A and B are shown apart, each in its own frame.
Chain A
Amino acid sequence: MNSLGSDHEICEATGISGSFRTIQIHPTLRCNLLCKHCYSSSSPVFKTGLESERLLRFIQYAERKGFNAISLSGGEPLMYRELDKVVQFAKSLGMRTGMVSNGMLLGSEFAGKVLESVDIVAISIDGEPEWHDYMRGQKGAFQHTLRGIEILRNLHKPFGFIHTITSKSWESLIWLADFAVSQGARLLHLHPVENSGRASTEMSDYMLNDTIRYKIFILTEYLRNKYSCRLEIQLDLSHRDYIKENPEVVRFYNPDNSSLADRLEKSMNNIVVDEKGDIYPISYGISSKFRIGSIYQRSFEGMFERFLEEKGRYLDTLLSRTYDMIVHDESVDMVSWGEMIVEQSLQSSDLMTV
């Protein structure tokens, strides 16, 4: 998910702030690791990637439609052979470029070429070295990643950490924030482990319960203050009371003062291109019912407009339902709203018939 909905002040000093309409791209599920918490089940067995010419064509179209940032994920994006072309092209259009990486391949010549056109890198860190190696399924993975971080530092390339919080790793959050600051990271993005992909089988004992979610929330508030503008901390968990006061966190708009057109446009601030080239709104994993199109289709003209016309009201219903579910269920205070939108999209078989 993107950073929408983080209930804290944006700190200019970290250089992370800004208003972006982002294309989140998963160009391949190929990865050098086999992480236990991977929501996309990426692994070394995948060999294919998106056709870059098609992808560039779509990026060009989306840029004309107001998208001003790309964020590359995967798989490990550095295992996508045409990554350099993609980031160079996006930069040439004046777009902001970001990449989520495990940091282990940053020492290659290819990575050096890619980094020239990447504005910010988010390095995945699962916690203290032993736990990180366990989660990554590879002894020494943490040390490899450290070397990657050093490369970023030497290049003066802004970077942050992205951490998948589990029922075990939350106890290391103070260590993690200290570590992030000591390494020069500007961002710490905390994302609750999702019950999807490989995580649904490998991490079933490490999912977050309500009690742990409260603890994470309290600790995050403490850490945000501790590091103030030195480290931007984003938590993909929000308190129900906060969402109640700020419906736009989940609905992407305030229902009291937005027209339907405005609502729909705002809910399209983040789109996803998955490893098959299919384009979706909001988040990876959302129901195929909400497919916007494909990078492989002959023409993109009218793609977003058609989607909004044909499926916009269902998307609106999905977001409203998720919001209502959150604010009316008083038994759960801390919610991972992004994951809930995806779950709701997959479970609501009646969505397209409302």
Chain B
Amino acid sequence: MEDLKNFEDALMKRLTSSRLGKDDLKKVSSALVSLKKEGFKIDGVELKDLSSVILHTRGIFPPPGGWDFIRKQMDAGKLKRFEGFPLGLLQLEDVRYQFEFEF
């Protein structure tokens, strides 16, 4: 409960920061829409600092949209980090993925 409150306080602090500009928000919103379009479910939005966002998502394995989608994001230079876990998983329908996008 305390963790959740801290997370939400941090999220609001970032969102209300005057240093977070329209272009940054535009990129976060576009990333959200593109992940949803591919079939990822959005679990959380973490504005890590003022230069990147981590989107916590869930989906099937292999990732919705296939590896091509991930590769395209990487090639476009927007996706800084991508992780899927747990590894060695049994339940292939509900895998957690983290995308870290750079602004």
Q: How large is the interface on A (under 10, 10 to 19, 20 to 34, 35 or more residues)?
A: 20 to 34
Contact indicator B29/A222 (Cβ below 8 Å): no
Report which of B26, B30, B34, B45 forms a contact with A221, defined as CB distance below 8 A.
Answer: B45
A contacts with B: majority SS: helix
Does A225 count as interface, using CB distance less than 8 angstroms?
yes
Contact status B25-A225, CB under 8 Å: no
Q: Are A334 and B29 in contact (CB under 8 A)?
A: yes
Query: Known: A211-B25, A245-B37. Is A333-B42 also a contact (CB below 8 A)?
Result: no
A236 to chain B, nearest CB (A): 16
CA distance A214 to B25 in the complex (A): 6
Contact call A218/B45, Cβ cutoff below 8 A:
yes
Interface residues on B, range: 20 to 34
Verify A215–B30 contact, CB threshold 8 A.
no
Say yes or no for B15: interface residue by CB 8 A criterion.
yes
Given A218-B32, A334-B29, verify A241-B42 contact (CB < 8 Å): no
Interface SS of chain B: helix
Q: Which of B25, B32, B37 contacts A215 (CB 8 A)?
A: B25
Min distance, Cβ A2 to any Cβ of chain B, angstroms: 22
Contacts of A325 in B (CB 8 A): none
Residues of B within 8 A of A333 (CB): 26, 29-30
Most buried by B among A171, A221, A241: A221
- A239–B32 Cα gap in the complex (Å)? 10
Binding site for B on A (CB under 8 A): 7, 171, 174, 210-211, 214-215, 217-219, 221-222, 224-225, 239, 241-242, 245, 333-334
